[in-house]
């Protein structure tokens, strides 16, 4: 009685999720795969899984209870709408969609359906360090959050990575986790470029400082650096009225030798967030078995799209760029308790 | 085609392993349970699992590929020998057996069978912090290990816990992990009792310092404290010829407030080692599917029994108590590379 | 043959410096004091020190080799000019002066004299943690500095403290240390106010985020919080092209108990910087014995005045406020090596 | 009216103390020096200081208020007795004397004089980290101390260093600080030699583990390593009934780069304890001005001699070697409050 899952998109991330769903997690089996490249789908398909010619056919198959979307971004809207039309829970990798209009269509469809079906792949929310940090914030031990500092450093980026991707692809993780940690929405964005790093070989506007202005007034101060060389360094610290709470360093053997007292840094996001990815799907499976979804929602995907758009505008204008959201449907929970009076 | 597992002993730890094998891990199903209390077995049995009247019947069932033994210690010898006789992989909780003679019988049976079948429940070897520490030691970055310091502190112990259990039940974890980290055997034990703690309410000889002398000459310096109140504090540090390597603190939100800059300590072994328990079974399943066992062996169970016995003698005598092992069968690997010249 | 020092201004800070110069440091004696309140001067005067009626008389006294100015800010210009006219080394507490015009007059007088005589009281430059950080930056181990993050948190501020003082009095420490660490000048300032803290009882615009734009392009990102309750928390971290370097926590006993693993935070600036104050005067004495001054100069005092002025404008305008400096006289060293190409 | 100090012994340590007393500290001047090598004394003598032919003449000079003894150990007894006979405060470097009999003679002379005159050079007691640790222990926050762990690692030792010096010269620091931290006396010593380090080039029994048994029952567990290569690593941790308190790492810039997240280790004892040496003399000067002494006493020097002797015996015998002290004269304070019931 395992959950029967169909996977759309069997590229690198799709293959990794297939591995996760077959080798790591319990209560689930992959019964269907689809990819724009049929041969690749065939190779990625686990034993007994059917290879479908189209996403639509996979989504509608009686042998598929729930869907995992790992296709490229522009294809997501149609696939998500088909899942909702079929009433099937769906996990969708980032970006949920690639435009505000698409995001609103997905929200409207889900609201019309009347129950959450969509979970978007913001895996940081499933990381135990972030979860502890959120519990500390919500406990009130540091008082009302006033500033959140997010640091996002990659050792390096692939050669096709361009400056806009700092804001379009990288920033969205910091933006989503900030919204979640602070239980608040982003209402405006500013972007500042410090002196450019000459390291990394590509002509990137790197690093970048982004200020996210939250509805309740807190400011999120983000540093993104994508060619820091030394590792994958993710930090987060909230300054509250009466205290400060920070993500810890990752556990690593403390070595004392001629290089000092030292701990290794994670090499990349795979190493850093491997358990978060597992947990993300563990919780998705549990909800999907109930025919619904929890975790990051279509609303969060919508907010992410708006933030990336505003950040790109702010990078061009050098000014504060406002974000205006539609009214939040009740399906996605009440307006946040911490909103400004 | 999941591995069919029978569980013997459905007390607290047995129930937890049933939960783990049914809810957390993949590639496995529980098809059989047995307990000395049939009613308890019935309640613990997952859907579709058969309740057996005797361990023997469970072990021999065609519907059981591999066995998990969580019965009480004195029953282990007979159950392990039955598993080996049936040629089935078996996971056995600590203590493997309760006497040197029993341990040797298990070893002899397994050697006669010609292949490893037994994995003993020393879960620390599956903890990622200990594994990193071992990698660092084995890499040679701190030089040859000369001293290993192990700290084992429990917030509190149950009312039935008596002083001997510090050496019989608690010490074995430190002893096993030391043997593993240093790739060496224990050849002698000394026990010292510092001033006794008046905290904890029971009349325990607590804390205790144990010196384990290793074959290659390193000394393992163990502090055991079983009523430290504040949490479960497990530390390990190796002093090598040219460097020192230590377990890190567990990751916990860094809170700065009126209590200082602080991180929470794990409450108990469940919180501390939950992932190690999962990983322990993940690897057991993989080996059991191949009809064999990896990880802590019957030889390690035997060493553990000898260490506990010697520690109890040393606590009485106040002297160095020697440990003499039988010759190590080839099945359990070559003599350790680091043994003294 | 100790250095004969006259102290102008015997309020709280003046008294503390008198204590320092008489009880802590060697090679110095206080021979003269002056205060607008003669009675206060008399009480603060060490044995054998003469109480002067006017700053001018003290400065010109043959029994005074060097002067320490601890009077209030608006009096500094005249006193500094008198010291320079007398050719005597002078230590001047912050603020050096209270307007750009005054600062330029002091610079011009000193340049005309032809030798440095003025040291301004930016004590952070004498703190061993900051000095280590600067050595690390200058060593190149983290690459060219791109971002510097400065955190400045006070437990509380006196009742007369008003919002402008965050920028006028508090920020100047972060600004000066940033210029020194990065060997660069500030060319522009932005100020952002996050959600206001309701803690502290006074109606302050607190906390505040300040972005200092450096000539070479680095951005200094300052968080000032003046009512954080828990202690005095000073942090600094430079993000370079290939690494990051941070001030360490202050050494404090690591206590593990029911409150977790924790270290105490300094209570206030006195506790945090007590050794820096001593060292500041130790080096001042050495230079003054040679009839000159080292450390923070009139140029640094001038830069500090400009930064505070620009920050106040930026707080009002919400915009980037430019700083334009006069050409740097050779007396104050060459233009910085790291300036943008 | 500065304290007039005569220095006996102008070797390396004597020269360093002359520097300290003339360049760093206030309220003191060196008026007299003596050395077995007159030429060396002459070179080391500050301006205006008289060079004496004999220690006796220096001690008795009217121009000497207090004496600093930096001669070699066997000369200390006679010089200390002369100081006491002259009624002059004296700072004596370690070892106070070289035999139990000598120590008792010094104690008896001082007791007969009726007032403390002798301060022995255990500088760790003046280190701010150790002082904080003692305050934490004395506050009771970790409960009654049961175990104290002391780690003493030197990067390397000079070529004349032999194995006995681990116990005779190095251990005494750990022994003295343990007595002071725990407010208790040592009643017995055990010594264990782990596998020997092959690093360092000299044929030393290194490292060594020493167990100091305290009167109240606590055990002090000391690790001494004298050729660890990487730096000077001094650690201390007390395990109490309900908590643990440890010395912090020394503050050092936190660098994150390809070598991980790391902090430098002090290179040697000069770097580690430079401030403790200054503070040691600061307090000595204050007491000497009152014609007396505070800090580590002749009693502590006596205890140190007994511990070194017992440790050497224990290294030979492999057994517990008892320490028996004479009754403590009231001059040295009451018996410790924490002594066993």
The pLDDT value given to residue A338: 42
| Residue from D130, D233, D127 nearest D181 by CA | D130
Average pLDDT, rounded, for chain B: 95
Shared-domain flag, residues D90 and D168 = no
The per-residue pLDDT for range B278-328, each reduced to its tens digit, is 999 999 999 999 999 999 999 999 999 999 999 999 999 999 999 999 999
Residue B337 lies in a domain: no
**C-alpha distance from B196 to closest chain C C-alpha (Å):** 18
Shared-domain flag, residues D63 and D35 = yes
Two structure tokens written together for B60: 């021999």
For residue D231, list chain A residues with Cβ-Cβ distance below 8 A: 256
For residue B263, list chain C residues with Cβ-Cβ distance below 8 A: 260-262
The pLDDT value given to residue A337: 41
- Give B78-84's long-range contacts (Cβ < 8 A, gap of 24+): B79/B8, B79/B55, B80/B106, B80/B109, B80/B118, B80/B298, B81/B105, B81/B106, B81/B109, B82/B55, B82/B56, B83/B59, B83/B117, B83/B118, B84/B109, B84/B110, B84/B113, B84/B117, B84/B118
The DSSP line for C288-309 is HHTT---SS-HHHHHHHHHHHH
The DSSP line for C158-169 is -TT--THHIIII
Average pLDDT, rounded, for chain D: 95
Interface of B with D in 45-74 (CB under 8 A): none
Residues of chain C with pLDDT under 70: 1, 201-202, 334-341
ipTM of the complex: 0.94
Chain B: partners with 3+ C-beta pairs within 8 Å: A, C, D
Hunting for tokens 């996760």 — which residue is that? A20
**H or E element at residue D263:** strand D260-263
| Residue from C120, C109, C119 nearest C86 by CA | C109
Hunting for tokens 């310092």 — which residue is that? B209
Radius of gyration over every alpha carbon of chain B, rounded to an integer in angstroms: 20
Q: Phi and psi for D217 in degrees, rounded to 5?
A: 105, -15
Shared-domain flag, residues C174 and C323 = yes
CB-based contact, A199 to chain C, within 8 Å: yes
The pLDDT value given to residue A335: 52
User: Among residues of chain B, what percentage have pLDDT more than 90?
Assistant: 91
The number of beta carbons lying within 10 Å of the beta carbon of residue B48 is: 8
Beta bridge partners of D29: D4
Omega prior to C91 cis, within 30 of 0: no
B79 and B28 in contact (C-beta within 8 Å)?
no
User: Among residues of chain B, what percentage have pLDDT more than 70?
Assistant: 97
Would the pLDDT of D144 be above 90? yes
State the Cα angle at B165 between B164 and B169, rounded to 5°.
Answer: 135
The per-residue pLDDT for range D284-304, each reduced to its tens digit, is 999 999 999 999 999 999 999
Residue A279 lies in a domain: yes
Average pLDDT over residues A42-46: 96
Residue C337 lies in a domain: no
**C-alpha distance from C265 to closest chain B C-alpha (Å):** 5
**Rounded CA gap, B242 and B239, in Å?**
8
Hunting for tokens 């005159």 — which residue is that? D117
C171 lies in which domain range? 125-272+301-332
For residue C230, list chain B residues with Cβ-Cβ distance below 8 A: 256-258
Q: Mutate which of C153, C195, C246 to disrupt the A interface (most A C-beta within 10 Å)?
A: C195
Residue C249 CA, distance from chain mean position: 21
The per-residue pLDDT for range A167-184, each reduced to its tens digit, is 999 999 999 999 999 999
C138 and C132 in contact (C-beta within 8 Å)?
no
The pLDDT value given to residue B19: 96
CB-based contact, B223 to chain D, within 8 Å: yes
The pLDDT value given to residue D1: 65
Total domains, chain D: 2
Shared-domain flag, residues A313 and A173 = yes
Contact B136 A244 (CB under 8 A): no
**Rounded CA gap, A217 and C207, in Å?**
11
Shared-domain flag, residues C8 and C28 = yes
Average pLDDT, rounded, for chain A: 95
Q: Phi and psi for A133 in degrees, rounded to 5?
A: -60, -40
**Rounded CA gap, C208 and C165, in Å?**
11
Shared-domain flag, residues D193 and D325 = yes
Two structure tokens written together for A2: 């395992």
**Rounded CA gap, C183 and C260, in Å?**
40
Q: Mutate which of C132, C146, C336 to disrupt the A interface (most A C-beta within 10 Å)?
A: C146
Q: Which of C144, C199, C209 sits opposite A147 (nearest CB)?
A: C209
Two structure tokens written together for A36: 């724009």
**Rounded CA gap, A83 and A95, in Å?**
17
Residue A340 lies in a domain: no
Specify the CATH number for the domain of residue C232: 3.30.360.10
The per-residue pLDDT for range B227-277, each reduced to its tens digit, is 999 999 999 999 999 999 999 999 999 999 999 999 999 999 999 999 999
Provide the pLDDT confidence category of residue D203 given band limits of 50, 70 and 90. Answer: confident
Shared-domain flag, residues A177 and A318 = yes
Would the pLDDT of D277 be above 60? yes
Hunting for tokens 């003449």 — which residue is that? D57
**Rounded CA gap, B45 and B32, in Å?**
7
Residue A337 lies in a domain: no
The per-residue pLDDT for range C217-270, each reduced to its tens digit, is 999 999 999 999 999 999 999 999 999 999 999 999 999 999 999 999 999 999
Closest residue on chain D to B265 (Cα): D243
Interface of D with A in 258-287 (CB under 8 A): 258-265
For residue C251, list chain D residues with Cβ-Cβ distance below 8 A: 128-129, 132, 248-251
Q: Phi and psi for B257 in degrees, rounded to 5?
A: -155, -160
Shared-domain flag, residues B150 and B66 = no
Closest residue on chain C to A205 (Cα): C146
For residue A244, list chain C residues with Cβ-Cβ distance below 8 A: 228, 233
Residue B339 lies in a domain: no
Q: Where is average pLDDT lowest: B111-115, B337-341, C41-45, D220-224?
A: B337-341
State the Cα angle at D314 between D312 and D320, rounded to 5°.
Answer: 150
Q: Is D51 exposed, middle or buried (0-12, 13-18, 19+ CB in 10 A)?
A: middle
CB-based contact, D181 to chain C, within 8 Å: no
**Rounded CA gap, B270 and B84, in Å?**
30
**C-alpha distance from D255 to closest chain A C-alpha (Å):** 9
Would the pLDDT of A97 be above 90? yes
The per-residue pLDDT for range B76-111, each reduced to its tens digit, is 999 999 999 999 999 999 999 999 999 999 999 999
The pLDDT value given to residue C86: 98
Provide the pLDDT confidence category of residue B340 given band limits of 50, 70 and 90. Answer: very low
Average pLDDT over residues A47-66: 97
**Rounded CA gap, A270 and D249, in Å?**
32
**C-alpha distance from A145 to closest chain C C-alpha (Å):** 8
Q: Is A327 exposed, middle or buried (0-12, 13-18, 19+ CB in 10 A)?
A: exposed
The per-residue pLDDT for range D164-192, each reduced to its tens digit, is 999 999 999 999 999 999 999 999 999 99
B190 and B319 in contact (C-beta within 8 Å)?
yes
State the Cα angle at D298 between D292 and D304, rounded to 5°.
Answer: 150
Would the pLDDT of D341 be above 50? no
CB-based contact, A327 to chain D, within 8 Å: no
**Rounded CA gap, C22 and A37, in Å?**
83
Hunting for tokens 């020269």 — which residue is that? D15
Shared-domain flag, residues B175 and B258 = yes
The pLDDT value given to residue B1: 65
Shared-domain flag, residues A54 and A144 = no
Closest residue on chain B to C251 (Cα): B261
State the Cα angle at A218 between A216 and A223, rounded to 5°.
Answer: 140
The number of beta carbons lying within 10 Å of the beta carbon of residue C173 is: 21
The pLDDT value given to residue D91: 98
State the Cα angle at D61 between D57 and D65, rounded to 5°.
Answer: 125
Shared-domain flag, residues D105 and D210 = no
B294 and B120 in contact (C-beta within 8 Å)?
no
Radius of gyration over every alpha carbon of chain C, rounded to an integer in angstroms: 20
Q: Which of B192, B207, B233 sits opposite D211 (nearest CB)?
A: B192
pTM for the complete prediction?
0.94
Hunting for tokens 């702010």 — which residue is that? A314
For residue D209, list chain B residues with Cβ-Cβ distance below 8 A: 147, 211, 219, 221
- The DSSP bridge pattern shows strands D50-51 and D28-34 to be parallel
CB-based contact, D209 to chain B, within 8 Å: yes
Provide the pLDDT confidence category of residue B11 given band limits of 50, 70 and 90. Answer: very high
**H or E element at residue B82:** helix B76-86
Average pLDDT over residues A247-274: 96
CB-based contact, D233 to chain A, within 8 Å: yes
Contact D246 C254 (CB under 8 A): yes
Two structure tokens written together for D258: 């390809």
Contact D263 A263 (CB under 8 A): no
A281 and A288 in contact (C-beta within 8 Å)?
no
For residue A264, list chain D residues with Cβ-Cβ distance below 8 A: 260-261
For residue C132, list chain D residues with Cβ-Cβ distance below 8 A: 251-253
Contact A248 B253 (CB under 8 A): yes
C-alpha neighbours within 13 Å on the C-beta side of residue C203: 0
Q: Which of A149, A195, A229 sits opposite C242 (nearest CB)?
A: A229
Residue D189 lies in a domain: yes
Q: Phi and psi for B312 in degrees, rounded to 5?
A: -65, -40
**Rounded CA gap, C141 and C131, in Å?**
15
The number of beta carbons lying within 10 Å of the beta carbon of residue D140 is: 12
Contact D261 A257 (CB under 8 A): no
CB-based contact, A256 to chain D, within 8 Å: yes
Shared-domain flag, residues D264 and D135 = yes
For D155-182, letters b (16+ CB in 10 Å) and e give: bbbeeebebebbbbbbbbbbbbbbbbbb
**H or E element at residue D300:** helix D298-317
Two structure tokens written together for A108: 């409207």
> What is the crossing angle of helices A269-289 and A128-139, to 10°?
70
Would the pLDDT of D159 be above 90? no
Q: Which of B244, B250, B254 sits opposite A251 (nearest CB)?
A: B250
The pLDDT value given to residue A288: 97
Q: Phi and psi for C149 in degrees, rounded to 5?
A: -110, 125
Specify the CATH number for the domain of residue C92: 3.40.50.720
D109 and D118 in contact (C-beta within 8 Å)?
no
Contact A248 B251 (CB under 8 A): yes
Dihedral Cα D196, D199, D202, D208, nearest 10 deg: -30
What is the 3-state secondary structure of A98-138? Answer: CCHHHHHHHHHHHHHHCCCCEEECCHHHHCHHHHHHHHHHH
Residue C339 lies in a domain: no
Interface of C with B in 128-147 (CB under 8 A): none
**Rounded CA gap, B151 and B219, in Å?**
14
Q: Which of A141, A249, A255 sits opposite B245 (nearest CB)?
A: A255
The number of beta carbons lying within 10 Å of the beta carbon of residue A313 is: 16
B100 and B310 in contact (C-beta within 8 Å)?
no
Omega prior to B207 cis, within 30 of 0: yes
């Amino acid at each position: 009685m395992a959950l029967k899952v169909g996977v759309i998109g069997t590229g690198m991330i799709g293959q990794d999720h297939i591995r996760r769903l077959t080798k790591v997690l319990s209560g689930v089996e992959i019964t269907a795969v689809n990819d724009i490249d049929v041969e690749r789908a065939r190779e990625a398909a686990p034993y007994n899984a059917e290879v479908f010619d189209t996403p639509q056919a996979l989504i509608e198959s009686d042998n598929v209870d729930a869907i995992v979307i790992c296709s490229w971004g522009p294809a997501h809207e149609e696939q998500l709408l088909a899942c909702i039309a079929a009433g099937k829970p769906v996990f969708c990798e980032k970006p949920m969609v690639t435009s505000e209009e698409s995001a609103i269509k997905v929200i409207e469809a889900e609201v019309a359906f009347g129950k959450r079906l969509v979970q978007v792949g913001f895996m940081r929310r499933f990381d135990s360090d972030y979860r502890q940090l959120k519990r500390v914030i919500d406990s009130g031990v540091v008082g009302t959050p006033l500033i959140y500092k997010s640091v996002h450093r990659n050792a390096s980026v692939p050669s096709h990575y361009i400056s806009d991707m700092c804001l379009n692809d990288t920033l969205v993780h910091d933006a989503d986790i900030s919204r979640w940690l602070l239980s608040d929405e982003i209402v405006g964005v500013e972007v500042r470029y410090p002196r450019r790093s000459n390291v990394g070989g590509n002509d990137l506007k790197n690093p970048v400082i982004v200020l996210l202005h939250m509805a309740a007034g807190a400011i999120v101060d983000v540093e993104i650096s994508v060619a820091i060389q030394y590792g994958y360094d993710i930090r987060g610290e909230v300054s509250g009225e009466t205290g400060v709470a920070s993500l810890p360093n990752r556990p690593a053997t403390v070595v004392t030798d001629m290089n000092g007292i030292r701990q290794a840094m994670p090499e990349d996001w795979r190493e850093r967030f491997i358990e978060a990815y597992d947990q993300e799907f563990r919780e998705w499976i549990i909800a999907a078995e109930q025919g619904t979804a929890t975790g990051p929602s279509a609303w969060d995907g919508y907010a992410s799209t708006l933030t990336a758009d505003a950040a790109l505008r702010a990078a061009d204008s050098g000014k504060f760029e406002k974000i205006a959201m539609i009214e939040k449907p009740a399906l996605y929970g009440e307006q946040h308790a911490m909103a400004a009076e």
